[in-house]
């Protein structure tokens, strides 16, 4: 299973939220580039980079940070937050993103999302399938579509989506352990490669997610607060 550190950006700084609450952000680094370089030094190959300010707005805001990280590392970066238009996607890819994660547009403008899949390919467009109590959320987790997460995935599986980051909002930033049975159900209902996000608090959680059939797991607060060390991630990758 791929392990993917998360890095959330507000004001050019690396922060983490709790359950998507912007008022409860904690800053972990004033220099995201140095943090990304440290990840790479420990054998990490992937980075999930989120523009939290962009997620609440109508466009990308922190693309400069993306450009700086991509210029200083060889990390495969998937970038999300604020991707609402053709110009936003072009800006993200021009700034060094290898892939982009699309959440809100996939909920509100299916035609545009499918157009991006056709233009850029299913390897470069990741479906952002964030959910709370089984329902899809979007727009920086402020809004809920009312749609069921499994139905949402099945619809886009038929459209050719290959990867989806599924974030359990209730557990995000809580260090309470992932909802492994939920991910087992999600991964079992679709051929899409599921990347679990939310709640990971230990290496035991990572091993439990392995058994669910998820293709990858995103690690956030557990890494920044030392619940999981970079040395442990390096050992896991080398195994």
Q: Where are the domains of the chain?
A: 2-238
Active site residue 88: no
* Confidence at residue 57, expressed as pLDDT on a 0 to 100 scale: 85
Which is the catalytic residue, given 51, 78, 130, 172? 130
Q: How far is CA 58 from the centre of its chain?
A: 19
Q: How far is CA 234 from the centre of its chain?
A: 20
Angle formed by the axes of helices 86-94 and 63-72, to 10°? 30
Active site residue 205: no
CA angle 21, 104, 144 (to 5 degrees): 60
Task: Kindly give, in sequence order, each residue whose CB lies less than 8 Å from that of residue 166, ignoring residues fewer than 6 positions away.
Answer: 129, 130, 131, 149, 153, 183, 186, 194, 195, 196, 197
* Confidence at residue 175, expressed as pLDDT on a 0 to 100 scale: 93
Instruction: Kindly compute the dihedral angle of the four CA atoms of residues 77, 194, 137, 126, in this order, to the nearest 10 degrees.
Output: 40
The three-state (H, E, C) secondary structure of 64-129, written as one string? HHHHHHHHHCCCEEEEECCCCCHHHHHHHHHCCCCEEEECHHHHHCHHHHHHHHHHHCCCCEEEEC
* Confidence at residue 22, expressed as pLDDT on a 0 to 100 scale: 81
* Confidence at residue 133, expressed as pLDDT on a 0 to 100 scale: 87
Its CATH class, for the domain covering 2-238, is: alpha beta
* Confidence at residue 137, expressed as pLDDT on a 0 to 100 scale: 87
Dump pLDDT digits (tens) for 51-72.
Answer: 999 988 889 999 999 999 999 9
Given a contact cutoff of 8 angstroms between Cβ atoms, the answer to whether 180 and 197 are in contact is: no
* Confidence at residue 145, expressed as pLDDT on a 0 to 100 scale: 73
* Confidence at residue 25, expressed as pLDDT on a 0 to 100 scale: 85
d(CA 199, CA 175): 5
Task: Mark the ranges of the chain whose per-residue pLDDT is less than 70.
Answer: 139-144, 146
* Confidence at residue 90, expressed as pLDDT on a 0 to 100 scale: 97
- pTM here? 0.94
């Amino acid at each position: 299973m791929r392990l993917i550190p998360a890095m959330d950006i507000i004001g050019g700084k690396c922060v983490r939220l709790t359950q998507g609450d912007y008022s409860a952000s904690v800053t972990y680094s004033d220099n995201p580039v140095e943090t990304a370089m440290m990840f790479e030094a420990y054998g990490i190959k992937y980075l999930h980079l989120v523009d939290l300010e962009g997620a609440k707005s109508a466009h990308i805001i922190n693309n400069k940070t993306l450009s700086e990280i991509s210029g200083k590392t060889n990390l495969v970066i998937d970038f999300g937050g604020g991707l609402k238009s053709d110009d936003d996607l072009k800006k993200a890819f021009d700034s060094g993103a290898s892939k982009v994660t699309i959440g809100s547009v996939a909920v509100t403008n299916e035609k545009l999302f499918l157009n991006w899949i056709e233009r850029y390919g299913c390897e470069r467009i990741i479906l952002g399938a964030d959910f709370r109590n089984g329902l899809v959320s979007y727009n920086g987790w402020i809004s809920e579509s009312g749609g069921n997460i499994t139905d949402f995935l099945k619809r886009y599986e038929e459209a050719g989506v290959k990867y989806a980051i599924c974030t359990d909002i209730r557990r995000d930033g809580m260090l309470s352990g992932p909802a492994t049975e939920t991910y087992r159900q999600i991964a079992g209902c679709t051929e899409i490669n599921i990347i679990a996000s939310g709640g990971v608090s230990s290496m035991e959680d990572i091993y439990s997610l392995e058994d669910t059939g998820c293709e990858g797991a995103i690690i956030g607060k557990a890494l920044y607060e030392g619940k999981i060390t970079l040395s442990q991630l390096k050992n896991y990758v080398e195994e």
